[in-house]
Amino acid sequence: MARVQQGDGEAYRALLDDVGPLVAHVLNRRLADPADAQDAYQETFIALHRARHTYEPSRPLEPWLLAIAKNVAADFGRRNRRRALREILMETLPEHSVQPARDLRARFQRALASLPATQRDALVLLKLDGLSVAEAAAKAGTSPGALKVRAHRAQVAIRTMIQP
CATH number of the domain residue 81 falls in: 1.10.1740.10
Listed range (3-7, 42-46, 66-70) with the worst mean pLDDT: 3-7
Closest by Cα among 79, 72, 65 to 21: 65
Quick check: is 16 in a domain? yes
At residue 74, the pLDDT reads 93
Q: CA neighbours within 13 Å on the CB side: how many for 146? A: 9
- What does the pLDDT average to over 52-76? 90
Q: Can you give the pLDDT at residue 23?
A: 93
CA 2 remoteness from chain centre: 33
Nearest to 112 by CA among 39, 161, 164: 161
For residue 132, tell me if it sits in a domain.
yes
Q: Is the pLDDT of residue 137 over 90?
A: yes
Would you state the pLDDT for residue 102? Answer: 66
- Shared domain for 79 and 109, answered yes or no, is no
Looking at residue 98, what is its pLDDT? 57
- Give the pLDDT mean for 123-135: 92
Structural domain including 10 reads: 2-86
Q: What is the pLDDT of residue 6?
A: 80
Residue 91 placed within a domain: no
Q: Is residue 138 scored above 60 in pLDDT?
A: yes
- Same domain? For 116 and 146 the reply is yes
> Do 37 and 80 lie in a common domain?
yes
CA distance 90 to 157: 31
Let me know: does 140 contact 123? Beta carbons within 8 Å: no
pLDDT of residue 97: 60
Q: Which residues contact 146 (CB under 8 A, 6 or more apart)?
A: 137
Q: How far is Cα 86 from Cα 2, in angstroms, rounded to an integer?
A: 44
pLDDT value, residue 125:
94
- Residue 71 neighbours by CB under 8 Å, 6+ apart: 47
Number of domains, the chain: 2
In a domain, 57, yes or no: yes
pLDDT of residue 96: 66
Is the CB of residue 135 less than 8 Å from the CB of residue 84? Answer: no
Mean pLDDT of the chain: 88
Residue 131: is its pLDDT beyond 80? yes
Q: Phi/psi of residue 144, each to 5°?
A: -60, -40
